[in-house]
Amino acid sequence: MQAQPLFTPIELGGIELKNRIVMAPMTRSRAIGNVPNELMARYYGLRAAAGLIVAEGTSPSPNGLGYPRIPGIFSPAQVAGWRQVTQAVHAGAGRIFVQLMHTGRVGHPANLPPGARLLAPSAIAAPGEIWTDTQGMQPYPTPSAMSEADIAAAIEEFAQGCRNAIEAGFDGVELHGANGYLIDQFLNTASNQRDDRWGGSIENRIRFAVEVARAAAAAIGAHRVGMRISPYGVFNGMQPDADTDALYVRLAQELSDISLVYLHIVDHSSMGAPEVPMTIKTRLREVFKHRYILSGGYDAARANADLATGRCDLVAFGRPFIANPDLVERLRTGAPLKTPDERTFYTPGPEGYTEL
């Protein structure tokens, strides 16, 4: 068998990862009451052979709990719940970051806790409908445009989420700047039509992402903070425009200067989304001076090839991890992969999760 760069260790912000396989963040909606639990600890513990697990989108704010049963990381109960998860992964000699996801306009009051607000850069509803446990499918409501005070509060919530993540035993955090959630809502003109310093020019539209990254780095050290982005993504109503390349290059430069530990690129073309041009992936790789993660539709052969040619430092696998907790071993030996059951991606309970 040819050499497999996937299985060479790599340093990430002062910790050693035993291989270059990242488990991509995946929302699985098992956190009843938005609190992580033993079932989740078992699920992540079973996958500790990954070089790095990025735990599912987790809200740093009550306002960011837009989907049913997603976890938070702002209350003491949530921090305690996450501690079980990080202990299970560390017991398996794994490493784990948590993805901080504020859903912004992608939510519904029926999913939010009492008193929480649906917030976004501008009062523009996301297109389409969202699942609620109490009212079934519902059209996305129009969010409230964030005031200066709302923006400052959200940035501080991200910073506190970082501190809570470290308290819960995580090795670091991934800021979710992709897929049409709050940070991406600021980047994209489809959801950001502000005419103040948070909207309009490229510099203004990246400001929220950069300020969140700065606050996160100040809170726990840049060596423990990565960011995920999705240039050319169209999920949750995002739309590329003539400035997309320039905006992401500028953002990557800023994040590189802050010394974020990694930049993680989403590509959902294998899920039917438009192709993400290789030119932008290559350009961002050049501009961002720290670790670089590619994802989307990878198998071992393509991952090894992209690592060998230096297109990235690590490769993230999403769906393959769902039905194959032993994915790392299967990739190593070339064993066939089981197909995940989409019907249990977001359902509560162990079926399709820890029971496969």
Ligand X SMILES: Cc1cc2nc3c(=O)[nH]c(=O)nc-3n(C[C@H](O)[C@H](O)[C@H](O)COP(=O)(O)O)c2cc1C
Provide the 10 A C-beta neighbour count for residue 319. Answer: 17
CA dist list (Å): 336 to 272, 320, 339: 23, 11, 10
- Min CB(302)–ligand X separation in Å: 11
- Min CB(346)–ligand X separation in Å: 7
Which position's Cβ is nearest ligand X? 318
- Report the residue count for the chain: 356
- Min CB(196)–ligand X separation in Å: 28
Query: Which residues are catalytically annotated?
Result: 181
Provide the 10 A C-beta neighbour count for residue 181. Answer: 27
Q: Is 323 in the site for ligand X (CB under 6 A)?
A: no
- Nearest CA to 230 out of 193, 284, 194, 191 is that of 284
- SS3 (DSSP) at 177: strand
- Min CB(191)–ligand X separation in Å: 17
**Which of 7, 10, 15, 26 contacts ligand X by CB under 6 A?**
26
Q: Which helix (H) or strand (E) holds 305?
A: helix 300-308
# binding residues, ligand X (CB under 6 A): 24
Given the rule CB under 6 A, which of 10-18, 42-50, 254-262, 318-326 is the region that contacts ligand X? 318-326
For ligand X, which is the closer residue by CB, 257 or 299? 299
- Nearest CA to 123 out of 177, 194, 202, 181 is that of 194
Cα angle: 272, vertex 96, 158; to 5 degrees: 80
- Residues numbered 221 to 250 that lie near ligand X (CB under 6 A) are 228
Q: Is 345 in the site for ligand X (CB under 6 A)?
A: yes
Asked whether the beta carbons of 158 and 100 are under 8 A apart, the reply is: yes
- How far is residue 130 CA from its own chain's centroid? 19
- Nearest CA to 225 out of 286, 273, 159 is that of 159
| Cα–Cα distance measured from residue 62 to residue 74, given in angstroms and rounded to the nearest whole number | 8
Q: Is 66 in the site for ligand X (CB under 6 A)?
A: no
**Which of 318, 344, 352, 353 contacts ligand X by CB under 6 A?**
318
Q: Is 270 in the site for ligand X (CB under 6 A)?
A: yes
Given the rule CB under 6 A, which of 6-14, 206-214, 289-297, 327-335 is the region that contacts ligand X? 289-297
Tokens of 326: 């032993």
Cα angle: 298, vertex 321, 178; to 5 degrees: 65
- Min CB(269)–ligand X separation in Å: 9
Q: Is 194 in the site for ligand X (CB under 6 A)?
A: no
Please give the torsion angle defined by the CA atoms of residues 238, 239, 241 and 247, in that order, rounded to the nearest 10 degrees: 20
Given the rule CB under 6 A, which of 19-27, 137-145, 152-160, 207-215 is the region that contacts ligand X? 19-27
For ligand X, which is the closer residue by CB, 180 or 240? 180
Q: Is 60 in the site for ligand X (CB under 6 A)?
A: no
Q: Is 269 in the site for ligand X (CB under 6 A)?
A: no
For ligand X, which is the closer residue by CB, 145 or 356? 356
- Residues numbered 164 to 183 that lie near ligand X (CB under 6 A) are 176, 178-179
- Min CB(297)–ligand X separation in Å: 4
Task: Label residues 76-114 b or e (16+ Cβ within 10 Å = b).
Answer: eebbebbbbbbebbbebebbbbbbbbbbbbbbbeebbee
**Which of 61, 63, 78, 99 contacts ligand X by CB under 6 A?**
99
Q: Which residue has the tokens 């702002």?
A: 74
**Which of 104, 180, 240, 296 contacts ligand X by CB under 6 A?**
296
Q: Is 184 in the site for ligand X (CB under 6 A)?
A: no
Residues that bind ligand X in the complex, under the rule CB under 6 A: 24-27, 56-57, 99, 101, 176, 178-179, 228, 266, 268, 270, 295-298, 317-320, 345
